[in-house]
Structure 1
Amino acid sequence: MHRKQWWATAAAAVLALAVGTLVYRSVSTGDPADMSTGCHLVNPSSAQQAGRSTGLRVVDRGFTRVGSVDPRVSMGVILRNETDQVAYRTLVTFDALDAAGRSVIEDDDRLLRTQVVPLIAPGAAVAVGNSNVLRPGAEEEIASLSVTLRSTGWLSPGDGASGLGRVTATVGKGQGERSGDGRGFVSFSIDSENCAEMASRGVSLVFRDGDDRVIGGSLDNSPPLDACAPGRHEGQRAAMTQSDIPAGADLDRTLVTVHCDLDRSRPELSPGAPYN
């Protein structure tokens, strides 16, 4: 997991907790200029706002305690859009709870629990992952994973000419690596159907074991500049520099979702606001 220092004063208190995934720049193919004919991106203001996320369902989830020196919880969910519309800017908030339903995430890290998933096409499933620091002494107290969905807007279905095309990531088999302390990397390629470069809100990873069970996840919110550009992008590499990868992870089974938005506002480090 890798988080930028968004501004000098607001992020200072959490900077030490916010370092994690480094993503190396890719080699891209395809000329965006050749794809721009008839390109008319949807205006985000046209989204029908909703206070709930009815029609979105968490179809799988899992977590693992990771790290011995700096205990964390690695969390992942697979989220599916079961409607005939595009889900726009869904807020996903993670929490790890003890048996009494109390959060065991360290207080300063609670600002880093929410991320925005910009676009989920009808019928599509996306990976949403995060990891957070645990309260001192709480690493043995995790009983369950809480996932809250809210503030989804809805757009009519579209295609690449409107900025609502599919953006898919494919993991490179045999190209991932995990060290004994849970650090490592996952390699993948990206294919974007969109006619123009979108605004990046990062890359989510969900880790699975050899039986395809979800066992954790992570978020990189500073991918290479071309992660949401049109065409194919080879050689993407997300490197977890904190202990985000569970010991039981089969990296070839990692699910990767690239978060591409129609535009991007500056994230706020405040309760309930996304940090990506």
Structure 2
Amino acid sequence: MPLSVVVLVAVVTAGAAVALQMRGQPDATATPTAPCVGPPDRATPSAADKATATAPPDGNGLDVVESGFTQLGSTSAPITRNAMVSIGAVVAITSTRTAHRALVTFDVLDSAGESAVLTTILDRPREIPVILPGERVGVGSQFWIRSEDGQRVEVARVNATVSGATWTATATADTPDATRDAAVDAAATTAGGITTRHLETRRHGTDQIDATVTYEVHSPYCRKWTSVGTSAVFRDDAGTVVGGGFDRTVSPSACLPGRHPGSTLLPSSLPPAAADTRTEVYQHCAPPDDPQQ
């Protein structure tokens, strides 16, 4: 088996074991906030709406407004657990409609414009289940970097694009105010109306690039949604995005109604320049009536 695959399996296995220990346990007492609300309109439009539901009525509707990356490890080192690039991006919605299942794709390129990615195992578009009008939703990702002629390829740039969303109207009294909690708490973010408040980012590991992030999630919905993962976006002291991470491991309590704690482990993802107190966390949850979940 190639060395890169052996290393990847070892890191993912170890990371999953620690994540199970660090992650918050199911909160059996979580109850809907009174009054709770119903989910946004279904992600799958009716037959009559299919002709117009694939695009917003007011332009593209989604833009990547911030992105940044940090290559971790020495370019002369062999392929090891820190042969990674940490990436973060923020997607803003400009439409008055609701976006469903938007896909964020990262192209990691070297100076020649060729892919710098070692393996496609982690090379997947990142899905955002729901984006409500007025929201800015962050996504994080990590990629293994290939070597060439005994040297690690240097990442020259990362292009982040968003596409593939399905759109539905948002004219419903059951849609929560997606920016309310974030407006009163600088540490809070929203995604699909679900608020996540960052509590702490702790560095660990011999190279101090592993991150354990704790947070609190508040879902205003009456029913449990389905978690599709947790993203972190890392910023430096000036507020510039310098990287990010994604944990696809699902906690049983991740998208329950009400308020509950959460914790995620992000190995080989925390850039040295990241300010730990400026971490942004986004809990990605899909509505219970999403046919893809």
**Shared fold (TM-score, shorter chain, > 0.5):** yes
Q: Distance in 2 between matches of 1:146 and 1:58?
A: 10
Correspondence for 1:221 among 248, 258, 261: 248
Q: Percent of pairs identical after alignment?
A: 30
Q: Distance in 2 between matches of 1:117 and 1:237?
A: 20
Which residue matches 2:43? 44
Shift of 1:33: 9.8
One-letter amino acid of the structure 2 residue matched with residue 203 of structure 1: T
Give the conservation status (yes or no) of the 8 Å contact 1:177–1:251: yes
Alignment length, in residue pairs?
247
Give the conservation status (yes or no) of the 8 Å contact 2:86–2:245: yes
Please tell me whether Structure 1 or Structure 2 has the larger radius of gyration of its CA atoms: 2
Q: Distance in 2 between matches of 1:216 and 1:160?
A: 36
Q: Distance in 1 between matches of 2:91 and 2:283?
A: 14
Which residue matches 1:239? 265
TM-score normalised to structure 1 length = 0.78
Range that drifts further, 199-208 or 26-35: 26-35
TM-score normalised to structure 2 length = 0.74
Which residue matches 1:176? 201
Cα deviation, 1:101-146, whole Å, max 9, x if unaligned, reads 111001343x533121111110100111000101124645211111
Give the conservation status (yes or no) of the 8 Å contact 1:76–1:129: yes
Give the conservation status (yes or no) of the 8 Å contact 2:42–2:168: no
Range that drifts further, 40-49 or 192-201: 40-49
Shift of 1:41: 6.3
Correspondence for 1:73 among 55, 72, 85: 85
RCO higher in structure (CA 8 A, sep ≥6):
1
SS of aligned partner of 2:221: coil
Shift of 1:264: 6.1
Correspondence for 1:136 among 141, 147, 167: 147
SS of aligned partner of 1:107: coil
Q: Distance in 2 between matches of 1:223 and 1:16?
A: 20
Which residue matches 1:63? 69
Taking a change above 3 Å as real, the CA distance of residues 33 and 97 of structure 1, as seen in their structure-2 partners, is closer
- Aligned residue runs from structure 1 range 204-215, under 5 A: 204-215=231-242
- Aligned residue runs from structure 1 range 73-152, under 5 A: 73-109=85-121, 112-137=123-148, 139-152=152-165
Give the conservation status (yes or no) of the 8 Å contact 2:235–2:275: yes
Taking a change above 3 Å as real, the CA distance of residues 160 and 60 of structure 1, as seen in their structure-2 partners, is same
Q: Distance in 2 between matches of 1:184 and 1:33?
A: 31
Shift of 1:43: 2.8
Shift of 1:35: 6.0
Q: Distance in 2 between matches of 1:133 and 1:201?
A: 22
Shift of 1:193: 1.3
Shift of 1:198: 0.7
Structure 2: where are the runs of 5+ without partners? 1-5, 75-79, 179-191
Cα deviation, 1:222-267, whole Å, max 9, x if unaligned, reads 1311111111112x11122x2111111112111111111123637x
SS of aligned partner of 2:44: helix
Which residue matches 1:7? none
Q: Distance in 1 between matches of 2:66 and 2:39?
A: 35
One-letter amino acid of the structure 2 residue matched with residue 89 of structure 1: R
Shift of 1:61: 0.6
Cα deviation, 1:158-188, whole Å, max 9, x if unaligned, reads 669469961011111xx32113341121111
Cα deviation, 1:208-233, whole Å, max 9, x if unaligned, reads 11111100011111131111111111
Shift of 1:93: 1.1
Q: Distance in 1 between matches of 2:237 and 2:39?
A: 43
Give the conservation status (yes or no) of the 8 Å contact 2:64–2:162: no
Q: Distance in 2 between matches of 1:41 and 1:62?
A: 31
Which residue matches 2:189? none
